[in-house]
Amino acid sequence: MKLHFLGTAAAEGFPNVYCKCDTCEKARQSGGRNIRTRCSVIIDDVLKVDQPPDSFTQALRDGIDMSLVRDLLITHTHYDHLNAGELISRMKGYAHGVEHPLNIYGNDLALFQCRQALLEEHEGEKQFYMRRLQPFKQIKVGDAKVTPLLADHDQRETCLIYFLEKDNMNVLYGNDSGWFPDETWEWLKGKKVDFAILDCTVGKNGNKHSGNHMSVESVIEVQNVFREGNLLKDHTKLVVTHFSHNCGLLHEDLVEIFKPYGIEVAYDGMVVNI
């Protein structure tokens, strides 16, 4: 399975183009892995998680053929995760030679926003299938099995994270999550995780069970709970992503912090084959 990290920043991007804080200034100066666009991952070129405002730029930057994408999983509707209007560019008349529909999966609010943006356009109904998800109800997505799990994020909507089973590998896509709710921990009992992508938005905050977004301490605690619960395999990889400039940490700082735990720090354009 190929996991391609298209973006690894929190909502404002890293650096935030409007911000003059020290971290943003340093990120601008050092460039490279310190330049982060908004979070999305593409799996095996055909399954995409989230549609941030940077999808267009990410596709150009990394040479992604977006016409290959068949399934789009939406975690929630914050502006860094869903920019539905962008998908108009995939419609007949705007895009040519794309015959297969795009399946869009998400909570009620995500699908409502997609409907507003797309289904009112001519031909939209044939080109986009909206599939409403319910927490803990597994669905088939291409040749993957996907189970939406609950996050502890924005309480005004049902924010979802995903457990993907494909090619005998289990991948947890965990942002934006906060410390997982009890129901999610309960569901994870007895599972094995080959690869987990975790929310580390806020940097260090001293809270092992950080709500809304996870912190360095929360991610390390997730690793502990996974270990104690026997969820880890020998080769299991944990990767952190969704960084805010407000965390005050540059890429190299994050790498240094997580090195003793064997946790990897994602960056834009990172490709992992598992």
DSSP H or E segment with residue 150:
strand 144-150
The first and second tokens of residue 262, run together, are 């064997």
CB 14 within 8 A of CB 247: no
Check binding of 50 to Zn ion (CB under 5 A).
no
Q: Phi/psi of residue 186, each to 5°?
A: -60, -45
Burial, 74: exposed, middle or buried (Cβ in 10 Å; 0-12, 13-18, 19+)? buried
Smallest distance, Å, CB 148 to Zn ion? 15
Interface with Zn ion (CB under 5 A), residue from 21, 30, 94, 271: 21
- Which residues inside 74-133 make contact with Zn ion, applying CB under 5 A? 78, 80
16 versus 37: smaller Cβ distance to Zn ion: 16
Stretch that binds Zn ion, among 13-21, 43-51, 82-90, 262-270 (CB under 5 A): 13-21
Q: How far apart are CA 147 and CA 65, in angstroms?
A: 26
155 versus 168: smaller Cβ distance to Zn ion: 155
82 versus 231: smaller Cβ distance to Zn ion: 82
The first and second tokens of residue 52, run together, are 């941030």
Give the rounded distance of the alpha carbon of 49 from its chain centre: 6
Smallest distance, Å, CB 140 to Zn ion? 26
Smallest distance, Å, CB 113 to Zn ion? 14
18 versus 190: smaller Cβ distance to Zn ion: 18
Q: How far apart are CA 169 and CA 121, in angstroms?
A: 38
Smallest distance, Å, CB 188 to Zn ion? 21
Amino acid at 189: K
166 versus 242: smaller Cβ distance to Zn ion: 242
Smallest distance, Å, CB 232 to Zn ion? 26
Smallest distance, Å, CB 222 to Zn ion? 18
Q: What is the DSSP string of 109-133?
A: HHHHHHIIIIITSTTHHHHEEEEE-
- Which residues inside 159-218 make contact with Zn ion, applying CB under 5 A? 176
16 versus 40: smaller Cβ distance to Zn ion: 16
Stretch that binds Zn ion, among 12-20, 83-91, 229-237, 262-270 (CB under 5 A): 12-20
78 versus 115: smaller Cβ distance to Zn ion: 78
Pure H helices in the chain? 22-30, 55-62, 108-114, 124-127, 182-188, 216-228, 251-258
What is the binding site for Zn ion (CB under 5 A)?
16, 19, 21, 24, 78, 80, 176, 245
